[in-house]
Structure 1
Amino acid sequence: MSILLTRVDYVNVGVTSRGTTCVFASETKQSQKFAVADHDGVLHIFCFKKGELQVLFKSLPGPKINRIVMGGMTSMPKDKIFLAHGNTVVGYTKKGKLFLKFETGLIDSITALYVLGSDLAACARDLYHRYRECKDADSYLIGEKLYDVVLVPIGNTAVLAVLACGDCAIRVLRGTKNPSILRLASIPTILSLYREGDKESHDRILMGTIDGKVGLLMLDNEKNIRISWVLTKMNSEITALDSYEIQDSLDLIIGRQDGSIEVYTLPSDEDILPLLRFRYNAGESISSVIGGIISSDDCPELLVTTYSGKVFGLTSKSSGFLELNQGKLGINKLKFEIQQLQEELKKEYMGSLHSEDTLSPLILSVNHRLILNKEDASYTLLVELDRSIDNILIQSDTPIELLDVEGNNAVMSLSTCNHDDGNFLLATYRCQDNTNRLEIKLRSIEGQPGTLQVYVTSQIQPKCCRKLLIPICALSLHTRLFIEDNESISGPFNELRLIGGFTLAEMHAWLAFALFDVPERPLIEEGSEAIMIYTSTLIGTILKCKYKKGTASFFSENISTIIILRDILTKKATQRKIKLEVFCDIADDSITKVLELILPKLTTLNELVEKINILDTLDTWEMKNNPADMCTEYQNLIKNESDLRQQMTKSCDALQRLHAIITDLYVDWERAKGSRRISSKQASEKLHSAIESMDMALLLQAFIGKDMSAASVSVPVLL
């Protein structure tokens, strides 16, 4: 059953990070106090009295606040605020009284925080650390970026730590013992204990992922964690999760990177998926969304905070009641906003008086992220400001293709570039008014690394500018795999071996230039050997990296991957003046394996092009008006025309890309075999007829010089 929620704006604070809004627990159905912390280091505590928003406490500005959580005595309502800035945790009461300032001793800034009774869990980069009564209890070095943590009590004294890790895994840790691991299809970015009212579950945890999935985790015991259900309808990153009874039933509340807020009804049966009952888009990314009773007694609503610091409610209060009270509330609200604007104007004026150079550009607060889209082997660059964007200028020293983004209303202009000067792309996006978030979709070319320079300017203050440097890796369209059993990966494989005076950490750093999403630290297996496994999002070939001090081995069916990696690593070694011995073992059968992966995709795309050509011909001859007179095949084409054209739009350049992959494969094959170097043009001319025929025998004959279609192919196991 759908619900109707109405937006009511409350207040604006500074730029906010995720998880920096909390609602105080209440045992009665009365308006709840709430707290918001921002990048200015200010903690705000608000409440509603007689229908008017009031500031109970406002701290002095300080370091950027990364996270706030609620805490308190076990089995009691949570009534204390714990906030993290840098490596420090600070505690406040609900009245704003400081009662704790704790230096954790962590080297990196705290990015995830949780408090359970006297236990405090903090995550900094890839290190989890737990304190009990501000004393070290246990810690664990994951080696992967940690996104979130929750603590679950066991008995009277023990706790379990549930960690959301950057290697697509949920880890359940008790003390310093080896954690139990649940592998996922994507990276979990947020965890939230399932709650009914103010009671938090000890065995159910809500989870959100970087590609927009939401799931319910079931903690059966200390070792066993499983997934009950997963929602996969949207693809924007999850930034906030909660569960709360808004109307008639317990609801799942979701906030997303693209500004979407969704409410799903939660079923009592864990085998049934939640049903959507409300959706709203705030126009900018959601930092927090929490269910509670905020502005009116006995009237549930969603309290929402956005990246730019807007705080508003989505209330179930009837619109008529809202209009009745709008007069007095509106006047008080306007007075409060005028006071805020006067204070901000005064700060800007005083800042300009003390500025040594009034023409120097101010630094903008920019929220940005580069996300790999596995479905079409492209990237999405998200750029967001706390104010309106004027222009975004993109410059690249490597070939980059800009793709269309649905719903992107910015006007793009391309400028002529001189490739001889190392300038391959110069594009400007001019944004419409009140646009503070923009998605840019792009695609790079494997084997051509470089740097993307992004310049962002603001509409409100044209002098403000921010420069972003975004590296484009040589094998950027490879994504990391996490496979516990290496025997499930089989060949035939080409092998690259490097022997030299490098360290394990050094080789790990070099690989970060070649591959996307390399972990913070090497994933060391037995014998001090690190192992990473990647797969190509384009064609599905595997790359396995095994390295330790002085030696490194790389395995892949795709000889192009091996050659690209060889070129990058030898270049890095040369820059460090490290001598390398390079060995390359070529497996003839690997060509067959790669072509077997490419040809079905090529066939599917050719069939799609043929269907579109038939539809275009029917349009030209105006024959669609009487589909009943046509054969069954043409009738089905007309019936599915919309879907077919949509597929064609998404795959408009896929054929050319697959042709280019086969051509590059031949060029690199010749290089690896020690033959003469040939150009892509020469390779394209030689392979043209074989590619057009899509015949495996002809392609193998062009590569190897003999027909291997009937030959037996040995498939060695990669250990």
Structure 2
Amino acid sequence: MELVLNRIDYSLVGPTSRHTMKILPNPDGKGLQRIAIGGHDGVVQIFNIKKSTLVHSFKSLPGAKINRLELGGMKDHLQDKVFIAANNEVRGYNKKGKLFLAFETTLTEPIQHMTISGSDLMVASFHSFQHYFDCVEKLNATFADKITDIINMPSPNNEGVRTVIACEDRTLRLVSEKRQAVVVEIGSRPSCLQLADEEDLHVLFGAQDGSIGLVSFGFNAQVRWVLEGGGSGCVNCMVHFDMSGDGQRELIVGRDDGLIEVFVYDPMQELPVKRASYACTESIMSVQAGFVSSPEHPEIIAVTYTGWFFGLTTESKESINLRQGDGPTNMSSEMQERLQQLRLEIDEIEQKVVREREKYKQTTQTRPDALSIVPKIEINEKFTLIPNEAVYLLSIEVQTPIDNVLIQSETPLRILDVERNSAVVSHSACDPEMGNHLLVTYRCQVNTTRLEVKVQTTEGQAGQLRAYVTVSMQPKCCRLIKFTVRPLSLHQRSHDLALDRPYNSLRLTGAFSLAEVHSWIGMCVPEVPDKVPLTSEGVLSYKNSFLDTVLHCVYA
């Protein structure tokens, strides 16, 4: 049976990172639940929802950008403590907003990932992982490839906490203080992790190509199944919750292309079955589920990159209007007066903005010593290979509406439009002899904050692809983003290589270091780790997504 979901818009909370929103559990398991959100402005806010309005119980002062928010607490107790990671510091708040922990880790890079189990705290930056117990370091590990997510697993026989670490080299590593790491190879780059069951040894992974898989870390660690993405966006977040009330938890997935999907586990089928979906126009950064606006109807809560906070409820639209009292015949005189007051306040603010803008314009034109400050433009950009289409997907997402995007390339390539792209495109003539092979302008529609373009590259040609992004803000300014197109741009990392087939071999010897060879390979193929191999020998295997050829690099 299909699950019907209706959207409820709540608020604009500001730009957020992945995994920075959680629903707090209730002590008795009944009633409405509170929500905790951390933003790029460093503000932590805890609130509940009453008639579609946010009622705050706590809101911190601005600070450093929050990269992760997790819930924790004593073992076998309610996990209602809020922990946030900003820079290399971890702070903890109780449900009333009181700060009870401010701990600075020894990581030299900002914390990107965090997971908590009782007194065990695990944090990870781009390449380093640390395990703390009662704020005392127990384990430290460094990886050449970038870490994409971490999650704790239950340990049999009380052997201590175990952590699954996902890396860009298409591997999941199970590490612990007492045992040697277990490595499982998967077919695509993992992007997020989620436990299949709180007491199980299975972990779900979402991948950059949109696929979802299940890995078993039992006696024989292996991939159990993989659900292909089918052209969907990167999996940003996942959570389990019983949306239908039948006692079976559904899998809720939030994707980079704005798609929210609900999958049900059918015992008669090996792979999960999609039960519902909702398409949003912005990247989904966090997704949770619970009872937040109605104690009878479960609801999916999501936060986008620009900060839109909304819900997808199983409650009917008529029931929502009746409960909120905002139907055409149910609006009270008090509600009508409040609505009119809000409209007057909005008009007053708009007029004030116009006056200040004219004042600023006049000042900068008449005074030679006047300063014009260029606003900071934060952009969520990605340039990723779609293997089954042998093209790159260029996605640009901004907090404010986009006016236009100018794409220029110094290497021959072809621009392909995306079906959900509503921008008006125009091609300009360019001179290849001057190093300019492409000049395309996208003029976006009103209130467009995300633009997607497919780029078809040609192997053997290398250069830079530049995107000039102009947004709707004053004073007018432009942000330049550069992407590198490598000579072997259609190659992707792979574990499944048939090296017994006929192939050519090129051997280079000389007075050069391992770091130099590593940098040479990085200039030729994508997905090369930022760091030099930690061992005396480096091994990188690639597969061509267009011709199905293989490339095996061994350097020492």
Return the TM-score normalized by structure 2. 0.89
| Aligned-pair CA distance for 1:181 | 1.7
Matched, 1:510 2:520: yes
| Aligned-pair CA distance for 1:47 | 0.8
Q: Is the 8 A contact 1:171 1:179 kept in 2?
A: yes
Q: Is the 8 A contact 1:523 1:532 kept in 2?
A: no
Instruction: State how many pairs are aligned.
Output: 537
Matched, 1:242 2:243: no
Q: Is the 8 A contact 1:363 1:465 kept in 2?
A: no
Aligned to 1:263: 262
Aligned to 2:62: 61
Cα 1:58–1:101 shift into 2, 3 Å: same
Aligned to 2:13: 13
Deviates more, 1:256-265 or 1:400-409: 400-409
Q: Which has the higher helix share?
A: 1
Structure 1: gaps (5+ residues): 549-719
**Which structure ranks higher in relative contact order (CA pairs < 8 Å, sequence separation ≥ 6)?**
2
Superimposed CA distance per residue, residues 255-304 of structure 1 (whole angstroms, 9 cap, x where no aligned partner): 111111111222356x5322222111111110111111101223210011
Matched, 1:140 2:138: no
| Aligned-pair CA distance for 1:495 | 3.0
Matched, 1:466 2:491: no
| Aligned-pair CA distance for 1:128 | 1.6
Q: Is the 8 A contact 2:213 2:223 kept in 1?
A: no
Aligned to 1:209: 207
Cα 1:342–1:259 shift into 2, 3 Å: farther
Aligned to 1:686: none
SS at match of 2:242: strand
Deviates more, 1:66-75 or 1:172-181: 172-181
Aligned to 1:645: none
Q: Distance in 1 between matches of 2:373 and 2:504?
A: 54
Superimposed CA distance per residue, residues 635-666 of structure 1 (whole angstroms, 9 cap, x where no aligned partner): xxxxxxxxxxxxxxxxxxxxxxxxxxxxxxxx
Q: Distance in 2 between matches of 1:482 and 1:139?
A: 26
Q: Distance in 2 between matches of 1:341 and 1:213?
A: 47
Cα 1:14–1:217 shift into 2, 3 Å: same
Aligned to 2:168: 166
Matched, 1:420 2:417: no
Q: Is the 8 A contact 1:410 1:432 kept in 2?
A: yes
Q: Is the 8 A contact 1:352 1:358 kept in 2?
A: no
Superimposed CA distance per residue, residues 507-529 of structure 1 (whole angstroms, 9 cap, x where no aligned partner): 2122212111101323455xx12
SS at match of 2:554: strand
Cα 1:234–1:492 shift into 2, 3 Å: closer
Q: Distance in 1 between matches of 2:228 and 2:545?
A: 23
| Aligned-pair CA distance for 1:55 | 1.4
Equivalent residue letter for 1:413: S
Q: Is the 8 A contact 1:51 1:296 kept in 2?
A: no
Q: Distance in 2 between matches of 1:521 and 1:176?
A: 27
Q: Is the 8 A contact 1:362 1:463 kept in 2?
A: no
Structure 2: gaps (5+ residues): none
Q: Distance in 1 between matches of 2:511 and 2:341?
A: 69
| Aligned-pair CA distance for 1:49 | 4.5
Equivalent residue letter for 1:230: L
RMSD over aligned CA atoms reads 2.9
Q: Distance in 2 between matches of 1:187 and 1:345?
A: 49
Superimposed CA distance per residue, residues 607-648 of structure 1 (whole angstroms, 9 cap, x where no aligned partner): xxxxxxxxxxxxxxxxxxxxxxxxxxxxxxxxxxxxxxxxxx
Q: Distance in 2 between matches of 1:257 and 1:512?
A: 26
Structure 2 counterparts to residues 18-417 of structure 1, below 5 A: 18-26=18-26, 27-49=28-50, 52-154=53-155, 155-156=157-158, 158-175=160-177, 177-194=179-196, 200-221=198-219, 224-228=221-225, 230-249=227-246, 250-268=249-267, 271-324=269-322, 325-327=324-326, 359-417=372-430
Cα 1:461–1:265 shift into 2, 3 Å: farther
Q: Distance in 1 between matches of 2:344 and 2:255?
A: 30
Q: Distance in 2 between matches of 1:335 and 1:55?
A: 22
Deviates more, 1:453-462 or 1:76-85: 453-462
Cα 1:77–1:226 shift into 2, 3 Å: farther
The percentage of aligned residue pairs carrying the same residue is 37
Equivalent residue letter for 1:505: A
Superimposed CA distance per residue, residues 66-90 of structure 1 (whole angstroms, 9 cap, x where no aligned partner): 1111111111121111111111111
Q: Is the 8 A contact 2:115 2:121 kept in 1?
A: yes
Equivalent residue letter for 2:541: I
Superimposed CA distance per residue, residues 546-597 of structure 1 (whole angstroms, 9 cap, x where no aligned partner): 222xxxxxxxxxxxxxxxxxxxxxxxxxxxxxxxxxxxxxxxxxxxxxxxxx
Q: Which protein is bigger by CA-based radius of gyration?
A: 1
Equivalent residue letter for 1:82: F
Matched, 1:495 2:494: no
Deviates more, 1:416-425 or 1:237-246: 416-425
Cα 1:52–1:343 shift into 2, 3 Å: same
Equivalent residue letter for 1:209: A
Aligned to 2:552: 544
SS at match of 1:509: helix
Q: Is the 8 A contact 2:144 2:534 kept in 1?
A: no
Q: Distance in 2 between matches of 1:121 and 1:357?
A: 49
SS at match of 1:409: coil
Q: Distance in 1 between matches of 2:344 and 2:271?
A: 46
Q: Distance in 1 between matches of 2:49 and 2:25?
A: 15
Q: Is the 8 A contact 1:42 1:60 kept in 2?
A: yes
Matched, 1:456 2:454: no
